[in-house]
Amino acid sequence: MDEDARVTRQPVTETEARRANRGWWDGDADAYQAEHGQFLGEVDFVWCPEGLREADARLLGDLAGRRVLEVGCGAAAATRWLATRDAGVVGVDLSAGMLRHAVAGARASGVRVPLLQADGLALPFRDGVFDVACTAFGAVPFVADSGALMREVARVLRPGGRWVFSVTHPMRWIFLDDPGERGLLAVHSYFDRSPYVERDAAGVPTYVEQHRTVGDRVRELTAAGFVLRDLVEPEWPAGHEQVWGQWSPFRGRLFPGTAIFCCVKAPERLGVKPPEGPV
């Protein structure tokens, strides 16, 4: 994100957000993979720029034999990693450009997984068919109605199923998008939910990212029938010096850049025992 003269913070419709972000990720897919592909790997599940890996964190629990959905899978490195854990996995993404890289990654790695081009607000699956749903910075920040996304994910999960997703830490929206000292300057209200919008010369949105507070996320989740079990704020690890946009060792050692919400679908309410293992 780049705070320049064509950046605004104002509401957009769901149609504007969908059109902008599909176009952005289709057009930026090659550059994104060139810049971040090595960090993300071909067959790996990296939750965030801090480098937290699912192999170490085990936020999804035991995956063997589970049906898993990755929402906003991008180039699908995580989807492929999930498949190597004996999960029955499907990856969906809105962007044809990112899915093109997902297909290339399957060819290069030899790990092939089912992929679908689909909107996270209209998942093409029956109710209750997945045990686990997840996304690392996919879908959630890019839809205008993220509450509807939570409800749609809940719909396709069985009772007691897990939903784990990572997003930019909500407190980061206070600050300028800068990895250096300038990025320590608080300039925006935490309580301003207006999305970050980049526009072209004609004023048409070309990139939209939504802001919600921590409380907003909790209310969205509970309204959709989820129980929040953990909120992980990965610390910046020693020896990790890579800068990723606004994420940097300088800022990462001072305050969190990522929030990972770990939830289950209403097991208590429905009398269903939650999945075993850490959440």
Residues 117-171: pLDDT tens digits?
Answer: 999 999 999 999 999 999 999 999 999 999 999 999 999 999 999 999 999 999 9
How far apart are the C-alpha atoms of 45 and 42, rounded to whole Å?
9
pLDDT in the model for residue 197: 95
How far apart are the C-alpha atoms of 6 and 51, rounded to whole Å?
32
How far apart are the C-alpha atoms of 18 and 95, rounded to whole Å?
10
Low-confidence residues of the chain, pLDDT below 70? 1-5, 267-279
The β-bridge partners of 91 are 70, 115
pLDDT in the model for residue 7: 85
CB 126 within 8 A of CB 94: no
Give the global pTM.
Answer: 0.92
